[in-house]
Amino acid sequence: MTITTNLPIHFTLNTGAKIPVVGLGTWKSEPGEVRQAVAYAIRDGYRHIDAALIYQNEEEVGQGIRDSGVPREELFITSKLWNTHHANAAEGLQKTLDALGTDYLDLYASLVHWPVRLVANETSELLPVNPDGSRSVDRSWDQAETWRQMEDLLRTGKVKAIGVANWSIPYLEELKKTWKVTPAVNQVELHPFLPQHALRRYCDELGILLQAYSPLGSTGAPLMADSEIAAIATKNGVAPATILISYHVNKGAVALPKSVNPKRISSNKKVIRLSSEDITALDSLAAKGWAKRINTPLWGHDLGFDDWYGPGAK
Cite the annotated binding site for substrate by residue number: 113
Q: Closest residue (Cβ) to ligand NDP?
A: 25
CB of residue 47 vs ligand NDP: minimum separation in angstroms? 15
Q: Which positions make up the binding site?
A: 113
Rounded distance between C-alpha atoms, residue 13 and residue 21, angstroms: 11
C-beta neighbour count of 201 within 10 angstroms: 11
Beta carbons of 120 and 114 less than 8 angstroms apart: no
CB 49 within 8 A of CB 76: yes
Taking the complex as a whole, the smallest distance from the CB of residue 255 to ligand NDP amounts, in Å, to 8
Amino acid at 69: G
- Among residues 254, 309, 249, the alpha carbon closest in space to that of 274 is found at 249
Are 185 and 211 in contact by the 8 Å Cβ rule? The answer is yes
- Smallest distance from the beta carbon of 295 to ligand NDP, in angstroms? 5
Active-site annotation holder among 40, 46, 55, 213: 55
Pairing of strands 24-25, 48-50: parallel
Binding stretches for ligand NDP (CB under 6 A): 25-28, 50, 113, 165-166, 187, 213-221, 224, 241, 256-261, 264, 267-268, 295
For residue 148, the minimal CB distance to ligand NDP (Å) is 21
By beta-carbon proximity to ligand NDP, the closer residue of 277 and 300 is: 300
* Residues 85/127, Cβ–Cβ less than 8 Å: no
Whichever of 175 and 260 has its CB closer to ligand NDP, that residue is 260
* 55 catalytic per annotation: yes
Minimum CB distance to ligand NDP smaller for 16 or for 19: 19
Q: DSSP 3-state assignment of 118?
A: strand
Cβ closest to ligand NDP, residue 50 vs residue 278: 50
Positions annotated as catalytic residues are 55
